[in-house]
Amino acid sequence: MRLQGKVALVTGSGRGIGRAISKLFAKEGAKLVINYSRSEKEAQSLAEELMKSGQEALLVKADASRSDEVKGMISQAIKRFARIDVLINNAGVLIPEPFLESTEETWDKTMAVNLKGAYLCSKEVAPTMLKQGIGKIINISSICGLAERTALRNTAYVVSKAVLHMQLFF
């Protein structure tokens, strides 16, 4: 119960890595803000699973790449739990597209979710953490951000994850 009394917000927590992180944090005693953009069923089932086991959870639909939705998500979390101790920037997209066939739309969407989303969420939660005098922000990246050999297959994704490794906005 290392996270007893702590509040964690995990973006993209409806499925995959975000779901696993949320379950682990809940097992350690954290109250969870479960964020999703498209995977409503999965996020809802996670919230129900956590609440059945006695954990507190708040389900919030928000696109991490949209400032207004991020502000609303953080506001709902603060209203419900009065604090956020951990932000895990997990929301991400991978649109498989070889470099020479890639489109500007794919680039923009990938950068918006993978980078801008982490930036917006971090920027919005930072004042709360500073006021509390404590907080952790964790960015989920990928080994692809370190392996240039994958860049010709998924250029936008690789670049976005490489930038997260650099932690440019902290």
What digits encode the pLDDT tens for the residues 78-93? 999 999 999 999 999 9
Domain count of the fold of the chain: 1
Q: Which residue has the higher pLDDT, 38 or 124?
A: 124
> What are 43-82's pLDDT values in tens digits?
999 999 999 999 999 999 999 999 999 999 999 999 999 9
The verdict on residue 33 lying in a domain is yes
Q: Which residue has the higher pLDDT, 109 or 153?
A: 109
The verdict on residue 42 lying in a domain is yes
Q: How high is the pLDDT of residue 147?
A: 63
The mean pLDDT of 26-41, rounded to a whole number, is 95
The verdict on residue 2 lying in a domain is no
Catalytic residue among 77, 157, 159, 164: 157
Q: What is the DSSP letter of 55?
A: -
Q: What is the CATH number of the domain that holds 146?
A: 3.40.50.720
Q: What gap in Å lies between CA 97 and CA 100, rounded to an integer?
A: 8
Q: Would you call 36 a catalytic residue per the annotation?
A: no
Q: How would you class 15 by CB atoms within 10 Å of its CB: exposed for 0-12, middle for 13-18, buried for 19 or more?
A: middle
Tell me which residue range forms the domain holding 101: 7-166
- Indicate if the pLDDT at residue 168 is higher than 60: no
Q: How high is the pLDDT of residue 63?
A: 97
The verdict on residue 1 lying in a domain is no
